[in-house]
C-alpha cells in the first residue's frame, strides 16, 4: 500500500464522476435494451458484428477481436458462441497460419447488422448526441480520447479512431 495521502475528489469532481458513471450506465443499458427489443441481440453482440463488418473480409482473429473491444478473450469467446448458435458469426482456423481461430461474419450476421445499425445510430443520436450541445459533445470526445490514450497500453488494439 502507498503511504501517500489520498487525493480526495472535490465536490465538483465527485459530481462530474458520478454523473459520468450514472449517465454512461443508463445510456448503455438503454441502447442495449433497444437492440434486444428490436433484434434480439445485446449491445456487446452488436459491437462484435460491427467490428467484424469493418475488418478485411469480415474476419478477425479472436484475440484481436477481444483486444479491440477491451474485453477478455473468454468473454468474447462466450459472446461469439452465442452469435454462432444464431448463424450470425462462424469460427474458423486462421487463414494466415492455421493455428489461431478467427471469427467470421456470416451473410445472416451482415443482414442483421444492416437492419440494426440504423436503429442503433438513431438511439445514439436521440439519447446522447442530440441531448448535449456540440461543444459538450466535442469536450466529451476530447476528454475520453485522452483517457483512452492514457489507458490504451493495457489494450493496444483498442484504437477508436
pLDDT of residue 29: 98
Which of the four pLDDT bands, split at 50, 70 and 90, describes residue 155? Answer: low
Percentage of the chain surpassing pLDDT 70? 94
Strands (E), 32-129: 59-61, 89-93, 101-105
Torsion sign over Cα 134, 140, 146, 151: negative
Note the pTM of the prediction, 2 decimals: 0.88
**Separation between Cα atoms, residue 94 and residue 101, nearest integer Å:** 5
Q: Tell me what the pLDDT averaged over the chain comes to.
A: 92
DSSP secondary structure code for residue 5 in this structure: P
Distance, first Cα to last Cα, the chain:
36
Rg of the chain in Å (alpha carbons): 18
pLDDT of residue 156: 57
23 found inside a domain: yes
117 found inside a domain: yes
pLDDT of residue 1: 59
DSSP secondary structure code for residue 89 in this structure: E
pLDDT tens track for 42-60: 999 999 999 999 999 999 9
Number of domains the chain is built from: 1
4 found inside a domain: no
Residue-range definition of the domain harbouring residue 32: 13-154
**128: CATH:** 1.10.10.10
pLDDT tens track for 16-26: 999 999 999 99
Residue with cell 441531448: 131
Amino acid at each position: 500500500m502507498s503511504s501517500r495521502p489520498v487525493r480526495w475528489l472535490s465536490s465538483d469532481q465527485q459530481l462530474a464522476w458520478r454523473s459520468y458513471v450514472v449517465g454512461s450506465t443508463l445510456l448503455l443499458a438503454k441502447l442495449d435494451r433497444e437492440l434486444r427489443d428490436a433484434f434480439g441481440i445485446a449491445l456487446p453482440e452488436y459491437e462484435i458484428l460491427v467490428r467484424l463488418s469493418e475488418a478485411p473480409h469480415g474476419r478477425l482473429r479472436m484475440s484481436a477481436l477481444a483486444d479491440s473491444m477491451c474485453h477478455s478473450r473468454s468473454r468474447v469467446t462466450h459472446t461469439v458462441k452465442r452469435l454462432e448458435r444464431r448463424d450470425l458469426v462462424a469460427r474458423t482456423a486462421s487463414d494466415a497460419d492455421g493455428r489461431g481461430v478467427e471469427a467470421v461474419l456470416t451473410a445472416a450476421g451482415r443482414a442483421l447488422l444492416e437492419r440494426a445499425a440504423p436503429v442503433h445510430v438513431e438511439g445514439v443520436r436521440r439519447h446522447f448526441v442530440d441531448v448535449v450541445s456540440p461543444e459538450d459533445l466535442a469536450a466529451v470526445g476530447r476528454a475520453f480520447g485522452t483517457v483512452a490514450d492514457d489507458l490504451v497500453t493495457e489494450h493496444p488494439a483498442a484504437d477508436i479512431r
